[in-house]
Amino acid sequence: MSGSDTEKLEAATAAAMEAAEAALASGATADISDLAVQRLLTAGTRLFAAKTEQENRYFSPLIDAHAVTATDAAITVSDLLHAVNLNTFDLAMWSNRSRPDSPA
């Protein structure tokens, strides 16, 4: 990925976050297509997994501890598991793996 591509991605994610926060604040989520949400979640999921695995390091998947609610996380994790045909037993196997630089 070239430097300009990285800069484009950084700018696009900042713009997407700003637009999403505005839509959430105004209650206008119906104005956002399902495809847009799928693209954001797919790209973020794949990038997070690739960075932690390829770089052999851990960082929080969230911008801060209060960025999402427990309900937000539970709904998203549950539907991600269903989308890839995993169950909570499968999740337990993965969640107990060791992670480099994982906070205690």
Question: Tens place of pLDDT for every residue, the chain, 104 residues?
Answer: 788 999 999 999 999 999 999 999 999 999 999 999 999 999 999 999 999 999 999 999 999 999 999 999 999 999 999 999 999 888 888 877 777 765 54
Question: For the chain, what is the radius of gyration of the CA atoms?
Answer: 16
Contact 88, 81 (CB under 8 A): yes
Q: Coil, strand, or helix at residue 75?
A: helix
Supply the pLDDT for residue 103.
Answer: 55
Q: Which amino acid is at 84?
A: V
| pLDDT at 73 (0 to 100) | 95
What pLDDT does 7 receive?
94
Alpha-carbon distance of 14 to 32, in angstroms, equals: 17
At residue 9, the pLDDT reads: 95
User: pTM score, two decimals?
Assistant: 0.83
